[in-house]
Every structure is written in C-alpha cells, then in structure tokens.
Amino acid sequence: MNRQPQSGTGESPSSGSDFVLTRSPGFWGIMRDAVLFGLVLGFAALSVSKVRPIREMGLWTALGLTISWVVAFTLLPALQLALRTPTGTLRVARDGLYERFAARLPTFTFRHRRGLVVTVLLLCVAGAAALFGIPRQLSAMPVGIDTLTYIDPSLPLHRDLAWFRKNVADLNVASILSWARPARIDMSPFPKVAEWLKICAERPAARAARQLQRE
C-alpha cells in the first residue's frame, strides 16, 4: 500500500493531510500474496486429519491468516487515514553494522554460490539419511521418542522413573477400563487394548489395589 498526496496539495505524506491509498501490484506484492496464499492452503490441508487438535489447529490458523490479510489492506489503511499516523518517510542514517552486513551479504553469497549450494545439498542428504537410515549402516530415526533415553541410566531419577512406568503408570486408565469385563463390553474389536489391560492388571500395584478392595 502506498500513500500519494492528492493533486494540488503538494504536501508530503507525513504532513497529516488526506491521501489517496493505492496498491502497487509489483513483484514483491505478488510474492507476498502468493506466500500467504500458500500458507493458508497448507494449514487448511490439515482439515483432512482425523486427529481433532491437528484438524482444528489447521482450520483456525488458516482462518487467522486470511483475516490478517484482509485487515492489512482494509482496516489498517483506513485507521492510518483516520488517525493521521506518520508514514515514516524521513530518511534514517544507515551506517550501522547491520546495514554494512546486508550490503556485503549479496556479494559474498554470489561469489561462493557453488559452495553454498553444495553444502545445502549435502545437509539435505545427511538429513534424509538420518531420517530414513542407511541399510546395514545406520538405523532410521524413531518416530516415537522415549524421554528416558535422555537421562543417564546411572542416575537415581532414571531408576525411579523406570520403576514408576513399570508399576504405576497407566493404572489409573486401566482401573477405569477394568469395569469393561463386569459390564460385559465386547473388547474383541480392540485386541491391543485388551492385551494392554491384561498386562496392567498383572502388575504388583494393581494386585495390591484389588487386595485392599477385598479387605
């Protein structure tokens, strides 16, 4: 969006007079809209997920991006005109470290373009090898992450967490599902759940809880 002074006024955009808002459909404007459109489609594609949190995250994010795009070209320019906000047309001295770095960066990247491209391709290959693995050389990266693998096995914390996982964890859920048998709920469509429930029922903590109920 660009502000242009009305014909005949001769005033600068920062003087606070009325201006005509025009949109410049240049290259960067098209790129901006294309990137935003791609983001909206990418997040909206999550609506096909069967996992409710992921589906709702995609829909709400796509909706928020669309609203922000509309507001940026409707409400914000109108508020600028109504509130007569300064447009920042004053030239600021650009002799800082960042400006010097930004001025030299294109020359450096163009001079070393081949090496940079090769480095990026090697990093992509290394990432693919780490993700999918190399036959008989490197195992593939696991999808699930076990938090205990990040703790030193010699520490007491690792031992306590392992004991808690083996004897206590999931027993609260199992105690609720344990009523499925007295209620004669058919668990045959869920064989893994039935097997997991059987393992939980054989834990020492579950046996002690049943013993207390009998007493």
Place of tokens 């809209």: 33
* pLDDT tops 70 at residue 31: yes
Q: Which of 92, 108, 134 is the last residue of a domain?
A: 92
Q: Which of 74, 92, 110 is the last residue of a domain?
A: 92
* pLDDT tops 60 at residue 25: no
Closest CA to 162 of 175, 145, 147, 143: 147
Statement to judge: residues 73 and 153 lie in one domain: no
For residue 18, is it within any domain?
yes
* pLDDT tops 80 at residue 150: no
For residue 102, is it within any domain?
no
For residue 137, is it within any domain?
no
What domain range includes position 22? 2-92
- Structural domain total, the chain: 2
Question: Which are the contacts of 204, defined by CB distance < 8 A and separation ≥ 6?
Answer: 167
How many Å apart are CA 55 and CA 171, to the nearest integer? Answer: 30
Q: Residues 145-148: contacts with CB within 8 Å, 24+ apart?
A: none
Q: Would residue 210 be called left, alpha or beta, if left means φ above 0 and alpha means ψ between -120 and 50 degrees?
A: alpha
* pLDDT tops 80 at residue 147: no
For residue 155, is it within any domain?
yes
How many Å apart are CA 36 and CA 32, to the nearest integer? Answer: 6
What is the pLDDT confidence band of residue 191, given thresholds at 50, 70 and 90? confident
Q: Which of 60, 92, 124 is the last residue of a domain?
A: 92
Statement to judge: residues 86 and 151 lie in one domain: no
For residue 153, is it within any domain?
yes
> Of 94 and 72, which is predicted with more confidence?
72
For residue 114, is it within any domain?
no
Kindly give the residue spans of alpha helices, DSSP state H, lying in 16-112. 27-44, 52-73, 75-83, 97-111
Statement to judge: residues 155 and 73 lie in one domain: no
